[in-house]
Chain A
Amino acid sequence: MLRKIRITLATVMFIGITWLFVDFTGTAYHWFGWMPKLQFLEAVLALNVAVIIGLVVLTLVLGRIYCSVICPLGIMQDIFGWLGKKAKKNRYTFSKAHLWLRIIFFIAMFLAILLGMGTIVQLLAPYSAFGRIATNLLQPVWQAGNNVLASIAEHYDSYAFYHSNIWLKSGVSLIIAGVTLITLGVLAWRNGRTYCNTICPVGTLLGMLSRFSFLKIHFDTEKCRNCSLCTKNCKAACIDFKTHTVDYSRCVVCGDCIESCKFGALRYSIGTSRTSKTSETSQTSETCPTSEGRRSFLLASAMLTTAAIAQKKEKMMDGGLAEIADKVAPERQTPLTPPGSRSRANLEQRCTGCQLCISQCPNEVLRPSSDLMHLMMPEMSYERGYCRPECNRCSQVCPAGAIQPIAAEDKASTQIGHAVWIKKNCVILTDGVECGNCASRCPVGAIEMVPSDPNDDESPYVPAVNEARCIGCGACEYLCPARPHSAIYVEGHEMHKEI
């Protein structure tokens, strides 16, 4: 019974979260948007007190059921374990807990959060590891399937499906996701929950609580015939049939042992241990603001040197399409962070690198950062689209409070960066044509066209950016006709501000 309930709940959760990650249309969010918010580490970082208390109470009552039905990485390992069991029955054995390793990883996580070492946090965080696998490996497959349907739909003049661009957002992220998947897959196939009970800091923390949980697995020594089946089927390797003990810090309450026992010697029932001790580990202290940091808006000379001059192409024949060169991302001196993230510091502090925001971004703006210290964190760039005024999806989905909910109206008055004009790339001067696309497409009217020679009204008009009004959405950068280097690009701000 316990096992069936667990499997049912886990299936719902797993499908929901996976769907949420692969869905690029923004529909799954309406149904499953709450699921990531239940994730423990993310709730801690978001200071989501209700969820933290709920999960602590849940663990104190039911044990580490969180790891079996809420954590998608746990469920994913169960799937691999289940496949492993199909290959070879009764494959597990009891082993002692690697207490020191658990403590080391837990402290490492704690310190990494305190010290703002994003990459370590992101590598250790369980839900994020799953998120990266889903975003980097599953979403492209989902998109490819969708694109097949889209071309069929197009053929039949249906609008049920539409094409979605598949593009490599970050090679590093892809490799990390692939390595994580293979490592965890092999570990889970052979030994079950090794990762959860040795490395995962959330597992360690919940394990501390579950030792005192109200409901637990208990041996009925009268009935037990020491057949060892329970031990051999325990993916957490936490049942010692010889001594009739269960290591409750590692038990994820999957119910497999109860099911496997032929004599009904195991039951999930009220524990003999006291549950009065409340843990104080859930208290968070991650509110330390990092220093302002560099705030220089030095314009890179690198940007200027690599500018390719667009050749004015005049038509000779009718028809055909001019080639369009792909845009090249500029090297921004200060990276751009999405509206709602408030500051780069806040994003670095809270982001666990699950990349849900990246998988959800419909404008192809967000991608994993290229910064070594925050490899899996989101970063913005505008070669493939810009941060459209009506969209705030990333802020809606973020479970960790790294990107906080922001209304579309507020976004229009939140400055995340400012546009910089690069004279030598501008088509007005290179091609000798009239342009002004940046000015006319600017959603907040921060760009005006002015004569390039202030004393000559007849001189070519060039864009003038009012930095005070610019919000950094990147419409100008994306829609700039200069290729591959835009003649106007957005430099990020460390701190976002209201204008």
Chain B
Amino acid sequence: MSKLSSKKVKGMKKDITRRNFLKLLGGGAVATAAVMTGCKPKTASKAVEEYKQQVEPPVGKMTYRTNPNNQDKVSILGYGMMRLPSKTENKDDFDQDMINRQVDYAIEHGVNYFDTSPVYCQGKSEACTGIALKKHDRKKVFIATKLSNFHPDTQSREASIAMYKNSLEQLQTDYIDYYLLHAVGGAMFEFEKRYVENGMMDYLMKEREAGRIRNLGFSFHGKKEVFDEILATHEKYHWDFVQIELNYLDWDYADEISKSNVDASYLYAELQKKGIPAVVMEPLLGGRLANLPNYLAAELKSHAPERSVASWAFRYAGTPEGVLTVLSGMTYMEHLKDNLLSYCPLVPLNKQEQEYLHKKVADRIVGLENIPCNDCKYCMPCPYGIDIPAIFVHYNKCKNEGTLPRENVDAEYAKLRRNYLIGLDRAVPRLRQADHCISCGQCEPHCPQSIRIPRELRKISEFVENLRRSQEV
């Protein structure tokens, strides 16, 4: 496509309506037919270009943010390697070919930040990332990984160092651009135990001096006091960056979603005060903000019909200037393309648009009261085989769609009841459903959203038990 025509198209696109869009689509079909028959009417080929414009992200348009510490030019879209695509035939096996293709495509479109961890994807993420990045110029990409020493066995100095060394090996590199203490914030003593008492902080700072860690930071999930306290150690440790949850729901409602979460507005402001760049995670809240109930999706679409629902969340997360990059765990090519469309280039939200998201959308999502599960799978595997996230996701889905069976007197009740139970059996095998949860609580400390998992599972299992007992007539 020539640059001239693309500009033209952009001008035209401004006040496109849904009807015009459909026309374009129709035109696209005509054009395809025309190409196939060998003749190219001018208008038709233009329509093809316009259509392509809407679904194919452009090359060379990525927005970059500069890291004030070392002038790294980081793409506003960061690739989260936590939700890698698995093979269709075997869900435990990751599809390396697909990962390579998507990483290549991302890099081609300007993405240069890749975020992984030793525990992601059943421990296979780092290796997959290493393989995918192998053929690219190491100097041109930024690799982020974490010291994920959650398990007591990995908390000794030796084991933690081994984990760090293993990361280098898996990623096939001799330095890490962004190294994070993984998920701190639950309690101060935990931070002390995992990083201070075992001497890891000293070790990592030495590594930073040696240049094997270019930036040292932490990712935060948890309580405000702990955040304040860890940030207060800035003088001592010099945090190069901090990774926080930021999205239009968490901005003001984080504590509403979960009592032990902190509003992103507070976290971001604190980081700004200290001049620490923020890396954003969960811009979509684990996909929840891309998969809104129909009426909310329609609400967003009515304001920007040719933009995806998810694009609002990405533009929102990228808008604050202190944000270095926005991480997204893009499992599928269409996720990647859609996110690139939002960020090539980023058109920041203005004040009114931000207000709109806060007041018209976030308020109403909070009103839905679903279980704040992001399907991150940190809680998994449950030692007793429960598929925790699948149970929550199915429940939230029904809640969002308004298909949760409520009262036995509802006219729709019998149908909704049947659909819920069949849908649940499809999503989760019986042996992995909530009634098998024994409330041992081993999952709970792993949940970054601080969901009280056994309690929620109990509620769902009681709900399901009631459904089962109210016989179909």
Contacts and interface: CB of A to CB of B under 8 A. Distances in A.
A433 interface: yes
Interface stretch (A166-174, A289-297, A318-326, A417-425): A318-326
A315 B422 contact: no
Interface in A66-111: none
Contacts of A320: 92, 122, 377, 380-381
Contacts of A431: 383, 440
Contacts of A436: 438-439
Interface stretch (B134-142, B192-200, B333-341, B423-431): B423-431
B384 A481 contact: yes
Contact of A441 (B154, B425, B435, B469): B435
Contacts of B458: 440
B376 interface: yes
A322 B383 contact: yes
B151 to A, nearest CB: 6
A277 interface: no
A242 interface: no
Contact of A319 (B377, B432, B439, B469): B377
Contacts of A312: 383
Nearest to A390: B469
Given A314-B151, A315-B151, A316-B123, A481 B436 contact: yes
Nearest to A314: B151
Interface in B77-123: 82, 92, 119-123
Contacts of B419: 159
Contact of A316 (B151, B382, B438): B151
A321 B438 contact: no
Interface string A370-407: 00000000000000010011100000000000000000
Interface string A264-275: 000000000000
Contacts of A481: 384, 436, 438
A159 B381 contact: no
Nearest to A432: B440
Give the residue among B151, B378, B384, B468 with the most A Cβ atoms within 10 A: B384
B418 interface: yes
Interface in A426-485: 427, 431, 433-437, 440-441, 479, 481
A378 to B, nearest CB: 22
B223 interface: no
Nearest to B151: A316
A10 B131 CA distance: 69
Contact of A322 (B381, B430, B439): B381
B275 interface: no
A390 B467 CA distance: 11
A494 to B, nearest CB: 29
B437 interface: yes
A320 B432 CA distance: 12
Contacts of A440: 439, 458
Nearest to B389: A319
A316 B120 CA distance: 10
A323 B385 contact: yes
Given A159-B422, A321-B432, A313 B383 contact: yes
Interface string B436-450: 111111100010000
B119 A318 contact: yes
A435 B151 contact: no
B263 interface: no
Nearest to A25: B472
A433 B438 contact: yes
B151 A322 contact: no
A315 B440 CA distance: 13
Given A314-B151, A315-B151, A317-B122, 10 more contacts: A163-B425, A317-B123, A318-B121, A318-B377, A318-B380, A319-B377, A322-B384, A322-B385, A390-B468, A390-B470
Interface of B: 82, 92, 119-123, 151, 154, 376-378, 380-385, 387, 418-419, 422-423, 425-426, 430-432, 435-442, 446, 458, 468-471
19 contacts: A159-B419, A316-B123, A317-B119, A318-B120, A318-B380, A320-B380, A321-B432, A322-B382, A322-B385, A427-B440, A433-B438, A434-B438, A436-B438, A436-B439, A437-B437, A437-B438, A437-B439, A479-B435, A481-B438
